[in-house]
Amino acid sequence: MSKRLFSALSFAIAIWGAGVVMPADAQQCSALLNHTFPRLQDESPQPLCQYQGRVLLVVNTASYCGFTPQYAGLEKLHAQYAARGLTVLGFPSADFGNQEKANNTDIADFCFNTYGVKFPMFAKSSVTGTAANPFFTALAKSTGQPPKWNFHKYLIDRDGKVVASFASDTTPLDKRVTSRIETLLTAPQNLK
């Protein structure tokens, strides 16, 4: 084999190989999910990009609210649909009536021991106003509907786009929520 042909083949293989490897290394993450938050139970950083490609139900939660029993419905949704691609994400907040416990350890104990919560929960943060965490700021901007109370819900499709917003009094097992989840779970992902 000539030296020139060998060089050309080596160059082509290097370019082809780089093209194959790069997309796997640089997984796409939507701008909406490009945030990292501490996990509730141990405050280890959790990138939301790990949920790219899943249907997400994002909820601001509180321990001392009249809607707190919705944890049971959220956990039921998680158990029922997780294998099909749904992830529920909980964000404790004291923004409304200071109805959340003072520290993350107490919140984690309450969620896990009282309601058996297994879906991902993040450290306590603000979800409204100028102090809102950047994820909830983006959710509110995307829908024009910031949370008005605890247990407001946002539904995000597999492509990382907000497709629905549900008020606090809409329970997790409400037909409006479950039918939208079912539709999103059966819809193909838009591979870019």
Active site residue 65: yes
CB neighbour list of residue 55: distance below 8 Å, 6 or more residues apart: 81, 85, 86, 87, 155, 156, 157, 158, 181, 184, 185
Per DSSP (E only), the strands in the chain are 36-38, 45-47, 55-61, 86-92, 153-156, 162-166
- The residue annotated as part of the active site, out of 29, 49, 65, 111, is 65
Is-contact 157 163, C-beta < 8 A? yes
* Enzyme catalytic residues: 65
